[in-house]
A and B are shown apart, each in its own frame.
Chain A
Amino acid sequence: MNNKEYQKLVKKHTPKPKVGKNAAIAFFIGGLLGSFSELLQELYGLWFHMPRKEAGVLVILTLILIASILTALGIFDVAVAKVKSALIIPITGFAHSITSAALEYKTEGFVLGIGANIFKLAGTVILYGVVAVYFFGLLRILIMGG
């Protein structure tokens, strides 16, 4: 069996993800999370008499806290395996990556373990976000004057 045939065989036996079902689940759960956040934002506005913008930040913080705690308890990974993107793309995925890195590298020590690895997965979001902002920001200043 040459290499090409082997690749073919591997491809044939790799389980195909259920694309349609996964997409529908991601859409539905992601949408529910969006609506729930909107509800939370309006409730925060009512309870604390906050402007919408600050209430929005508080919603983000709430989701981050919930996601961190669920990650530490091991519930988040089970949920991600079921609903996929619906929990990775919202800010919960960001919190999950930081908390899971902190827990995973705890055994390697506080500085070389937790400290050095806490941004291991979330760092990519921050890096490319900041690089994009510098690039687009300068572009906007040059073209539109700010």
Chain B
Amino acid sequence: MIYLNAFLFCGTICLISQLILDNTKLTPGHVTSLFVIIGAFLDIFGIYDKFVLYCGAGAIIPITSFGHLLIHGAMDTASKLGPLGLAFGVFNLTSAGISIALVSAFILALILKPKH
């Protein structure tokens, strides 16, 4: 069942984004920024946690989960340190993804040439 949920959730997010891209003048950059903000917004009331619970990795893969992870890390430290904790913890959960992406991009840029 969770596989079907994952399929439907991830598919729907991609579908919405494709409809926005085809019907408006917005670029992928606009859409991804918008989706990150929506993901963070949905997490205020714990709605995105429900998606993660029922859709598993289907809800972790889309870029909306980036916003969800950012605000989760921030709120975790904010519960210990108060409002200043937002600054301390904002990258706690996403640091793995960002650092791996940076290091692998750097190494690949060292050894390979761009293809056009």
Check if B47 is an interface residue, CB within 8 A of chain A.
no
Of all chain A residues, the one with the shortest Cβ separation from B104 is A68
Interface SS majority for chain A: helix
A64 touching B19 by the CB < 8 A rule?
Answer: no
Given contacts A103-B113, A133-B40, contact A38 B6 (CB under 8 A): yes
Interface residues on B, range: 35 or more
Contact call B104/A130, Cβ cutoff below 8 A = no
Contacts of B65 in A (CB 8 A): 91
**Contact indicator B109/A17 (Cβ below 8 Å):** no
Report if A88-B28 is in contact (Cβ < 8 Å); known contacts: A22-B22, A146-B78.
yes
Contact B83 A141 (CB under 8 A): yes
A:36-93 near B, CB below 8 Å? 37-41, 52, 56-57, 59-61, 63-65, 68-69, 71-74, 77, 84-86, 88-91, 93
Which residue of A60, A77, A98 is within 8 Å of B102 (Cβ)? A98
Contact, CB under 8 Å: A27 / B11: yes
Residues A125 and B18 in contact, CB atoms below 8 Å apart: no
> Would you list the 8 A-B pairs with minimal beta carbon distance, nearest first?
A34-B10, A30-B14, A31-B11, A74-B115, A34-B58, A37-B57, A26-B18, A31-B7
